[in-house]
């Protein structure tokens, strides 16, 4: 099987995890390097991965696919803005699944989605474009994770729940089955969500309750 040529967009901490997921993926990737405005010397040193330049270097990557290596620690439009900016310069967006993740053959993953080591995605789940299902996260049956949402390490999403576009579910959080998390909502680390969460809301605690802050 011919390996897919791949370029990483971003070179920071999250990018290093994405790079190793690509190297450990079931589908073969030939990871060419990364683009980033910053030198990101630790990434080059630790992974032996060359910095190809800033975003403009993507134009010289020919038939290579791209994957987003820009992470977030909360909800927001940073990753969306990067995709909008560099999208015209790439051939397309690769879906990366670590070889130690479990993805049901009846689940669906969108372009640019990344599934990290130890994650589980069950039957009928739909994961949108540029989502992150991080290390050890569980996305149960028939869950919908909309574009650009991030399910952090160790979080669990119960069956039939829906995670809105650009939402963030924090480390070790639990979302009850059939609950809806609104677009760009923020679920704090360790929160237990037992009811719907409005768009742009912040919730935390056990059971999770709104903090009164709203994201913009």
Residue 141 a catalytic site member: yes
Q: Which two tokens stand for residue 153?
A: 């390490």
Q: Where are the alpha helices (DSSP H) in 27-134?
A: 41-47, 78-86
Answer yes or no: are the C-beta atoms of 116 and 131 closer than 8 Å: no
Helix (H, G, I), strand (E, B), or coil: what is residue 135?
coil
Separation of alpha carbons 214 and 196, rounded Å: 15
Answer yes or no: are the C-beta atoms of 133 and 148 closer than 8 Å: no
**DSSP summary character for residue 47:** H
Separation of alpha carbons 125 and 214, rounded Å: 28
> DSSP strand E in 36-152: where?
51-53, 65-68, 96-97, 102-103, 108-109, 114-115, 120-121, 126-127, 132-133, 138-139, 144-145, 150-151
Name the active-site residue from 98, 141, 150, 178.
Answer: 141
Active-site residue set: 141
């Amino acid at each position: 099987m011919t390996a897919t040529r791949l370029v990483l967009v971003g070179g920071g901490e999250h990018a290093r995890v994405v790079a190793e997921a690509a190297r450990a993926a079931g589908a073969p990737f030939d990871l060419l390097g990364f683009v980033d405005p910053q030198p990101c010397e630790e990434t080059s040193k630790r992974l032996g991965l060359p910095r190809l330049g800033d975003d403009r270097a993507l134009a010289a990557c020919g038939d290579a696919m791209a994957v987003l290596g820009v992470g977030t620690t909360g909800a927001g439009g940073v990753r969306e803005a990067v995709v909008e900016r560099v999208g015209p310069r790439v051939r397309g967006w690769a879906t990366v699944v670590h070889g130690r993740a479990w993805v049901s053959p009846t689940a669906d993953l969108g372009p640019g989605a990344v599934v990290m080591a130890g994650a589980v995605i069950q039957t009928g789940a739909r994961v949108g474009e540029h989502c992150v299902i991080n290390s050890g996260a569980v996305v149960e049956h028939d869950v919908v994770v909309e574009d650009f949402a991030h399910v952090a390490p160790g979080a669990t999403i119960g069956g039939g729940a829906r995670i809105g576009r650009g939402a963030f579910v924090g480390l070790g959080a639990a979302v009850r089955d059939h609950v809806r998390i609104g677009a760009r909502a923020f679920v704090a680390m360790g929160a237990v969500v037992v009811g719907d969460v409005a768009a742009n809301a912040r919730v935390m605690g056990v059971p999770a309750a709104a903090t009164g802050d709203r994201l913009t």
